[in-house]
Every structure is written in C-alpha cells, then in structure tokens.
Structure 1
Amino acid sequence: MAELQNDRFLRALLREPVDVTPVWMMRQAGRYLPEYKATRALAGDFLSLCKNRELACEVTLQPLERFELDAAILFSDILTIPDAMGLGLYFEEGEGPRFKKVIRTEKDVEALKVPDAATDLDYVMNAVKEIRSELKGRVPLIGFSGSPWTLATYMVEGGSSKDFRHLKKMMYAEPQVLHELLSKLAQSVTNYLNEQILSGAQAVQIFDTWGGVLSGDMYKAFSLDYMRKIISGLIREHDGRKVPVIMFTKNGGQWLEVMADAGADALGLDWTTDIDDARRRVGGKVALQGNMDPSVLYAQPERIRQEVADILQRFGTGNGHVFNLGHGIHQFADPEHAKVFVDAVHELSAKYHV
C-alpha cells in the first residue's frame, strides 16, 4: 500500500496536532453529484453499484476530484449485513430499502446466521481493496457499519419507519428476543468492521442513525451497550498505525458523557448540539466530529462561510475536531456550495492550529 500523504484526518481523530481542521462529508459520494447519477445509471440500480468493485471505487473517488477532502469513505450501504443474513434486501423507487423477510419472533431471530464477512460480504472487501489501491495514499479510507439498533429497526420493521412500532413492541414486550437479535448483530458488525480494516480501511465509523428515538435507559441498554461491545472487539492498530473509531448517534447529544466512555476515539455530532457545549462536556476524552446543518448548503456562499466560521470559533483552539455535516449531504445540494464549505474549513481553521 502507498504511503499516506495526508493524515490530518487520522491525527485529528486521535487528538494530535494538525495544520488545519480536516473535513469530509457524510454521503459525500452520492446523488447530489451528476457524475454519481451517471455511474449509478450505468450500474443499473443501487445494489448493483454497491456490488461492483470498480464502480463502487469510482463513485468513492468522485468527490475527491471536486473537493479538497481529507478522507474518502467506502461507498456501500449499512444494510449489507442484514442482506448477508438472508433477509433479501431490495430498493423500491421513492420508498427506500425493503426486505423480503422480516424479523418478528424468537424463531426468526434463532434462524439468523452471523455472516462470514470475508466470504458473504466479499464484494465490500473487494471494493475496500480497490479503493485503497486507487487512492495511492492520497487520503485515508473510512470503513463503516450501521449500529445493531439501527440495523434492527430495518430488519424488524421491514424497511424505513416513522414510529418503529414493531421494534418498540418487541423491546418492551419481549426484550430478551431483541437482546438476542442485537447480540447477533453486534458480533456481525464486529467481524464486518474488522474485515474492512484488514482489507484496507484506516478508520471506521458506526452509524447509529436511529438511536435518538429511544429514551435514556433504553438507549443505554439497547443501543450504546452493543456499540460498546463492538468497539471493544475491534482491531485498533493495523499496518503500524492506530485505527480510530468514530461513533455517531443522531439526536444523541443528551448522552454525550456516557457515549464518551464507550471506547470510541471520536463522537459524531448532529447540528442539534452546540459543539462548544459538547467539548466542555466530554473534556479531553474523545475527539468531536461535526456538525453543520446540511441545509446550510442551500444558502449563498457567504452564509456558508459564516456558519463554518461560527462552528470553528465555538470549538476553539486545540486538537480533536474533524469538521463534517451533522448528517448526510442532501441530494439537492449544489456541488459548488459543497466546495465553498470544504474550502472554508481549511482556510478559516488555520488560525486555530498555530
């Protein structure tokens, strides 16, 4: 593997000194880019794009050709694990992900296998290897997975949900069944992320997209505890470098103190938590990633720069900040506005690192 030329993203996650604040965007390889839409049309559908190593590599690198980003993130989907468990993932136009089989009973959970990440999900590992090779050390590559709780929301509901009726019924009426499901998912995610690391991922992020729909005690018992187990089982050093772990719970700002004790190197923040307050609360335990509202990219360039300046000022001087959006970039965002955002982070942050 080529020597890494830009490692400020990895150093910031480990709270080491950097010259400017590193920046990347969740969903940075996606449908706001016309070149992505063209490649997806060539693939035929979303899943075919994920499973084609050359095309998955192509779309991963596309945003790096437009923007001076400090990291690439694997192009894939969080629902690869449930698919490998035999649930039959498919996508309906305008409706999002769906499963042919859903998990509703103890027998359903017992029938699930923990997939072999190297074989059942070999197309993901092939994409990781291809991307690392094509990056040629330009920037680090981020691998990722959904959290057990977030994966379970789709598996039990059968797709996206607004009220999580079936899953919350299971949580309160048959908690032991849900714990069994989450245990299998935690082992699956651990294996999956470790295989990504062995294949070339240099940092990993756990996306707990739906953890914020839980009450405090339920969050700790059904989401955080399982992420803690995953983190404790991850490879944390590979090829002579530390492999940082980012944990991101959307709408989880009220739990930052307990999240900071879960073993991750960094916590992702959405835009509902002020980053200065978050830094005060976690102290020097973890780095922070975030947290501009993706909707700011609809504004004019000067307003985008103003928002970047405000967040940088709120975080202040010192180490441990990776700039990002508070969630994925919107599909209707103007790519030129995304460039303004990325450039502003580098330009305006230098004074905080002298």
Structure 2
Amino acid sequence: MAEHSFPPLKNDLLLRAARGYEARRCPDLRALTPGGAAGRYLPEYHEAKGGRDFFECCRSPEIASTLTLQPIERFGGLIDAAIIFSDILVIPQAMGMTVEMVDKKGPHFPDPLQTPQDKQYIELMERHVDVAKELDYVYKAITLTRKKLDGRVPLFGFTGAPWTLLCYMVEGGGTKLFKQVKTWIYKYPEETKALLQKISELCVEYLALQVKAGAQIVQVFDSWAGELSPSSFKKFSQPYLAYIAKHLPLRLKELGLEQVPMVVFPKGAWYALDACADMGYQVIGMDWLHDPAEAVKIIGDRPVVLQGNADPGVLYGSHESITEVVTEMVKGFGWAERKKGWIVNLGHGITPFVNPDDLKFFFQEIHRLTKTD
C-alpha cells in the first residue's frame, strides 16, 4: 500500500481518459516539458530558477516542486495534469556518469562511453545501482508536489527510454549524426543489448518508486526512437519498451501499490504505432508526423488511447492557425463520435520563445471544441 496520504483527486479527467473511459471533454496535458527546455517559456520559471544550475534545480525537491506547479497555477482549469520537473538523464547520473546542462547547448557528458572494451563500460555494467538512494530527490519532489497540488490534477512521473538514454550516454549529448551510437548497434550489438537491458531494469525500479512517492501516471520518453530503422527499432528499442510495460506492473504489485496508467512516446517512429499498441501501455504518445485519422485506424478496437499531436510550432503562429490545427485534431481523432481514446497534447515539448498567452489560447480552443456538457 502507498506510504503517503494525499488529498483526494478533484479532477480525474486525464486518468479516466488514459484508462479508456468516455469523458465530458478531451483532457489537456502538455504545459511543461520534462528536460532541458522545461518551463523556459514562462517568465516565472526563470525567476524561480535564478542563477542555479539546471540539475541543481532537479535535485532540490522544493524548487522542482515549485517549477512543476507553475503551469498549473498560470493556466488553472485549462490543463488536466502536472508533470514532475526533472530530466530523463538522471538515470545515467545514477549509474555514475557525469552529466552537465550547458547553457544554449543542452546536456553534455564530459566522458561518454567509447567502446565495450573500455574500463568505463565494464565498470558500469558491473556496478550495482541503487536508484532508491541515488534518485531520492526525485521521489521527495513528487511527494511534496502531490501535497501542494491538493488534488487539483494528477501528477505524471517519467523516465527516458533505454534506447534514448543509450544515445546520450554514447554520443555525449545531442547530435544530428548519431555516429557513435550507430557504431555501437552495428559493431557491438550484443554489448549494446546488455546495456539496454540494464537500463530497462533501472527504469522499472525508478518508475515504481515514483509511483510509491505519489506519481499517478507514468510516461516513457523514447525521444530518439525515430533515428532507428524499422528493423533496428525491433532490436534496440521495442524489446526494452516492452520489458518496462510488462515488468512495471509486476513490480508495483510486489510493492503493494495500485496500478497506474503507462504512456509510451516513441518520437519519430511513426512505423512503430502498431507494435506499440501491443506492448501493454495504455496510452501512446504521437508526434506531429502522424495523421490522427490514420492512427485511429491502425489502433482499431484495441484498448489503447492516443495522446498528441499538434505541431508545437503552431504556437508561433496566429490564433487562426491554432484554431485550424485544433479543429483538425478534433476531427482526426474522431472526438465527436467517440468521446474517448484521445488525450490532447503537443506532438513534442513546448519550444523556446513561445508566448504563454498563445499557449493559453490553444488550451481554450481545445475546451471550446471538445466540451460536451
């Protein structure tokens, strides 16, 4: 059973939608992106962050909680969930790797993995990682945030997917070529799979402990899934996403915790929608490369909810353009007929320099065009 006592949930719209139930309107999700770009579109984010390093904010439960709540407080009543302020790269940090957030550049690993023959890889594979201890600050932030939310909306926990985390650990940061990680999968496939399996096991425990701390729904971000061919996705991403979907419920049961909805987001891997629908996740996140109507056809009668998928770039445009995109989504996902099976979201995170008022208009249009009562 849960070890914390929290206020009752007043708005369960998103959790009901994630479980496939009909809803009085389509729930809105994204107002805060996990990761290095989190919250930068809000002026209050910069004020709360001050001169602190990004990961310093992640490691402070009070600051992380404050940053998580900012979109809820600014857009009160327009969004239906909060996403804990953290980063997917806390897993590599827990594994003993150094990760820095470089201003105007993003995450940087000063000493990325080179080859499986190197001492660093061998030690990393042999090292026991205590995610309960190493990532305790995340769990404390989740618990604190649940209490501060006072039941206004549910709280998301999340992790990076094994493939995406491997990309960062090998490339040393963001990249356009993916030269190093492609070298790994084509030159060292078995060692790659061994590392992916270790990361998968850590992700399961990490997510389970987030639920124990108070997360009510969890998401797995495979941000670099689209860099894999369909064949390579089946070897280096799909098995590990499926492992998490299978073993997280088992681990929650072992801990005596209630099951929570699980979301998978394989960004760019449009070809993997059908496979993802059979992995065991209740929700599949979609980027803007998907056609909603086609996605609905692919899912068919399987009990899977789709999440997405507006191009975040529309927030740079006019209100007329935002209305057009929202209208297309509402029609494409068949909301008028189904009243279920869809959670509104952007096709990826909010990009820098977005005007918060334009985001607010996006939310207002969703409410206007999907409300049924």
Query: Under TM normalisation by the shorter chain, which class is it?
Result: over 0.9
Describe the superposition over 1:80-137 as per-residue Cα deviations: whole angstroms up to 9, x where unpaired: 0001111111122222111132112224333113522211100111101111110111
> Is contact 2:32–2:68 with CA below 8 Å preserved after alignment?
no
* Structure 2 residue 69 is the aligned partner of structure 1 residue 61: yes
Q: Tell me the equivalent position of 2:234.
A: 220
Q: Which amino acid aligns with 1:33?
A: L
> Is contact 2:31–2:79 with CA below 8 Å preserved after alignment?
no
Secondary structure at 1:87 match in 2: coil
> Is contact 1:293–1:325 with CA below 8 Å preserved after alignment?
yes
* Structure 2 residue 190 is the aligned partner of structure 1 residue 204: no
Q: Which amino acid aligns with 1:244?
A: P
- Stretches of structure 2 lacking an aligned partner (at least 5 in a row): 1-5
**1:26, distance to aligned residue in structure 2 (A):** 5.9
Aligned-partner Cα distance in 2 for 1:240–1:126:
17
**1:240, distance to aligned residue in structure 2 (A):** 7.9
1:271 pairs with 276, 288, 303, which one? 288
Identity %: 41
Aligned-partner Cα distance in 2 for 1:207–1:27:
14
Q: Which amino acid aligns with 1:279?
A: V
Q: Tell me the equivalent position of 2:143.
A: 129
> Is contact 1:114–1:188 with CA below 8 Å preserved after alignment?
no
Moved more, 110-119 or 146-155: 110-119
* Structure 2 residue 84 is the aligned partner of structure 1 residue 74: yes
Moved more, 187-196 or 97-106: 97-106
Q: Which amino acid aligns with 2:97?
A: L
* Structure 2 residue 44 is the aligned partner of structure 1 residue 32: no
* Structure 2 residue 332 is the aligned partner of structure 1 residue 314: yes
Aligned-partner Cα distance in 2 for 1:119–1:284:
42
Aligned-partner Cα distance in 2 for 1:240–1:177:
34
Q: Tell me the equivalent position of 2:3.
A: none
Q: Tell me the equivalent position of 2:357.
A: 336
Distance 1:151 1:26, change over 3 A: farther
* Structure 2 residue 305 is the aligned partner of structure 1 residue 305: no
**1:39, distance to aligned residue in structure 2 (A):** 1.1
2:121 pairs with 109, 112, 121, which one? 109
> Is contact 1:114–1:187 with CA below 8 Å preserved after alignment?
no
> Is contact 1:73–1:142 with CA below 8 Å preserved after alignment?
yes
**1:242, distance to aligned residue in structure 2 (A):** 4.0
Describe the superposition over 1:128-167 as per-residue Cα deviations: whole angstroms up to 9, x where unpaired: 1111110111100000010000000010111111111111
Alignment TM-score, normalising by the size of structure 1: 0.96
* Structure 2 residue 305 is the aligned partner of structure 1 residue 287: yes
1:92 pairs with 82, 97, 102, which one? 102
Describe the superposition over 1:179-226 as per-residue Cα deviations: whole angstroms up to 9, x where unpaired: 111011001111111110110000000000001111111101101110
> Is contact 1:109–1:180 with CA below 8 Å preserved after alignment?
no
Aligned-partner Cα distance in 2 for 1:281–1:193:
28
Describe the superposition over 1:314-336 as per-residue Cα deviations: whole angstroms up to 9, x where unpaired: 11121110000000001111100
Aligned-partner Cα distance in 1 for 2:194–2:123:
11
For the aligned residue pairs, the C-alpha RMSD in angstroms reads 1.6
Paired residues in the alignment total 351
Q: Which amino acid aligns with 2:63?
A: L
Aligned-partner Cα distance in 1 for 2:183–2:146:
43
Distance 1:241 1:16, change over 3 A: farther
Distance 1:149 1:114, change over 3 A: farther
- Stretches of structure 1 lacking an aligned partner (at least 5 in a row): none
